[in-house]
């Protein structure tokens, strides 16, 4: 189910089969193999799920050290320095404008960039800017999985809301009066729906309806 984009905003995202074909082609021959190699070296060959698990474990270990007053060892300080260096390197990747898309770095390279955006901490403005570049890259080089796009749009919307601004992609929902799921205000409903359509996301009204049926303003939704 897809809505038509507003006039002048360009075509909607290709059908699912075409997106899958684009991922296969990019996997075989990325246009920027050097950058793809650098991204895979950064991740150490780990998937986004594995990287998230590693980051979560590092946070947990740090919280335990603080809770029990354990001093940092040389090994811990070295690990922290390495993590900070990797975070700075990821920022350099994400500062590229235009940001490379699927055709440039392939499916596995794109996964690393997606993880990098989701892992940005304590800098909502940078996360929002990098997220917008990621979504523009999708329009130029389509084929990213829908949950990458929705996840990035969610982070952009959350950064805007936390800054006191209306959301742009209609992903943010909340409980109203403690019992009903509603979508938080958008900057412009028609423009918001057009942005979603260009990315191949389900209409915002449908997402809101599903969330109301599930009574869950935050959880994962299937790609319709």
* Each residue's pLDDT expressed in tens, for the chain with a length of 224 residues: 444 444 344 455 555 666 666 665 655 688 999 999 999 999 999 999 999 898 888 877 878 877 888 888 888 889 889 989 999 999 999 999 999 999 999 999 999 999 999 999 889 999 999 999 999 999 999 989 999 999 999 999 999 999 999 999 999 999 988 789 999 999 899 999 999 999 999 999 999 999 999 999 988 887 65
Where does residue 1 rank: exposed (0-12), middle (13-18), buried (19+ CB within 10 A)? Answer: exposed
Count CB atoms within 10 A of the CB of residue 173.
Answer: 21
d(CA 170, CA 206): 11
Q: What pTM, to 2 d.p., does this model score?
A: 0.82
Count CB atoms within 10 A of the CB of residue 142.
Answer: 22
Residue with tokens 């979508």, as numbered in its chain? 183
Per DSSP (E only), the strands in the chain are: 173-176, 180-183
Q: At what angle do helices 33-43 and 102-118 cross, to 10 degrees?
A: 30
Q: Phi and psi (nearest 5°) for 82?
A: -65, -40
Closest CA to 102 of 150, 141, 153: 141
Find out whether 179 and 224 touch, Cβ atoms under 8 Å. Answer: no
């Amino acid at each position: 189910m897809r809505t038509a984009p507003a006039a002048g905003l360009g075509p909607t995202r290709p059908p699912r089969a075409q997106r899958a074909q684009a991922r296969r082609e990019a996997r075989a021959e990325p246009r920027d193999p050097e950058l793809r190699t650098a991204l895979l070296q950064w991740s150490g060959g780990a998937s986004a799920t594995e990287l998230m698990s590693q980051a979560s474990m590092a946070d947990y270990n740090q919280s335990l050290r603080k809770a029990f007053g354990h001093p940092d060892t040389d090994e811990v300080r070295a690990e922290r320095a390495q993590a900070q260096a990797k975070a700075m390197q990821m920022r350099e990747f994400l500062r590229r404008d235009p940001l490379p898309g699927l055709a440039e770095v392939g499916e596995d390279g794109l996964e690393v960039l997606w993880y990098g955006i989701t892992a940005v901490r304590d800098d909502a403005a940078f996360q929002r800017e990098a997220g917008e570049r990621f979504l523009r890259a999708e329009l130029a080089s389509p084929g990213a999985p829908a949950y990458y796009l929705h996840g990035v749009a969610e982070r952009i919307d959350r950064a805007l809301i936390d800054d006191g601004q209306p959301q742009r992609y209609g992903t943010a929902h909340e409980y109203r009066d403690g019992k009903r799921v509603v979508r938080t205000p958008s900057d412009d409903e028609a423009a918001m729906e057009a942005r979603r359509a260009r990315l191949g996301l389900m209409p915002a009204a449908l997402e809101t309806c599903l969330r109301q049926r599930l009574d869950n303003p935050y959880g994962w939704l299937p790609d319709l």
